[in-house]
Homo-oligomer: A and B are copies of this chain.
Amino acid sequence: MILAIGCAMVVSMRMPEDVQTRSGGRLVGGIEGGGTKFVCVIGRGPEDIVAEARIPTTTPGATLSQSVDFFRAESARRGSLAAIGVGCFGPVDLCEGSPTWGFITTTPKAGWEHTDVAGRLGKELGVPVAFDTDVNAAAIGEARWGAAQGLDTFVYLTVGTGIGGGGLLGGQPMHGLVHPEIGHMLLPHDRSLDPFPGVCPFHAGCLEGLASGPALLARWGQPAESLPPDHPAWALEARYLGLALANLVCTLSPQRIVLGGGVMEQTHLFPLIRKEVVALLNGYIRAREILEAIDAYIVPPGLGHRSGRLGALAMAQDRAGSD
């Protein structure tokens, strides 16, 4: 029996030179813009971060002003920045040419609807700005320096307070009509085994509603990190994540899936999820990566919790290089 072998190896041969070139060079800035805090960094790569600040996400005015102040003060001391990259919570407008490109659009986060993020930062700092979702930024970070080096089609999924996914498809960040909302994928939900209705106010039985940190808390009455590894919560969690990943394999055919976020810090979940994915696909996708090397196919982030901010730096490097 001959199994298909995915495209990863072919692509990877082209990457090292690229990576080396891009990780050196001029100083750039990155922002990981989350619903709780904005992490701002200045540097040239994972081993060369020269300044970092954590700014609480309060109002757009305050948070963006403080971010601008940080970059201004640091670049006055360290030299000008060639560009800034922003990986932002959303939904956001990624549509080049749109009058609201670089805006947070219809977010449920109070006060942040229709906020111009990229335009304001670019104007106040006088630098080019690259802008994408938080999860695409994390994916770009993993592709540049982490667990997805050499791949052109892969998914980064974060499982935490919410569940969101990004990635590269054919070497480009996942955009489209808006951008993916992988956390809202509708999953098989057997109410006789799991009567919990889900926490998503929009969808009964979506991934985020059934498997996010708040779903674990609401279903079991205690936070994920306090549930022991032998608690039945984890088999069910692995089941839902396995269903979602099997569906991602069928729809996106990723060369690898990187799983990050707070819930995935329970690393005992990884083998459970891998087993579910193999069982659910049931031999249909005949790729060596899935049938023989699943441990290298579903993996934790190579950059730990820094994928987003480092990805924002990588985006800034690309933006600077394209001028």
User: Which A positions have Cβ atoms within 8 angstroms of B?
Assistant: 1-8, 10, 91, 93-98, 100, 105-106, 114, 153, 165, 169-170, 172, 174-189, 202-203, 205, 243, 246-255, 280-287, 289-290
Contacts and interface: CB of A to CB of B under 8 A. Distances in A.
A174 B253 contact: yes
B186 A247 contact: yes
Contact of A7 (B165, B172, B175, B247): B175
B253 A252 contact: no
Across the A-B interface, the 10 shortest Cβ-Cβ residue pairs: A176-B253, A6-B177, A7-B95, A10-B97, A153-B176, A170-B172, A202-B284, A106-B286, A169-B169, A177-B253
Contacts of A250: 180-186
B180 A252 contact: yes
Contact of A286 (B105, B203, B252, B286): B105
Contacts of A202: 281-284
Contact of A280 (B5, B186, B189): B186
Given A177-B287, A182-B251, A247-B251, 15 more contacts: A5-B95, A5-B98, A8-B177, A10-B95, A153-B177, A178-B286, A179-B253, A180-B251, A184-B284, A185-B251, A186-B243, A188-B188, A202-B283, A203-B284, A248-B251
Contacts of A290: 177
Contacts of A100: 2, 4
Name the residue in A8, A153, A176, A250 with the highest tally of chain B Cβ atoms < 10 Å from its Cβ: A176
B252 A181 contact: no
Contacts of A169: 169-170, 172, 174, 176
30 contacts: A2-B114, A4-B106, A6-B95, A6-B177, A7-B94, A7-B96, A7-B98, A7-B175, A105-B286, A153-B175, A169-B170, A176-B253, A177-B253, A177-B254, A177-B289, A179-B253, A180-B251, A180-B252, A181-B284, A183-B250, A184-B281, A184-B284, A185-B251, A186-B187, A186-B188, A186-B243, A186-B246, A186-B280, A247-B247, A248-B251
Given A153-B176, A286-B105, A98 B2 contact: no
Contacts of A106: 1-4, 286
A24 B204 CA distance: 50
A315 to B, nearest CB: 16
Contacts of A3: 106
Nearest to A113: B2
Given A2-B106, A98-B7, A252 B289 contact: no
Contacts of A203: 280, 282, 284
Given A178-B6, A253-B177, A187 B188 contact: yes
Nearest to A280: B186
A4 B280 contact: no
A252 B153 CA distance: 13
A54 B186 CA distance: 41
Nearest to A3: B106
Contacts of A186: 187-188, 243, 246-247, 250, 280
Contacts of A246: 186
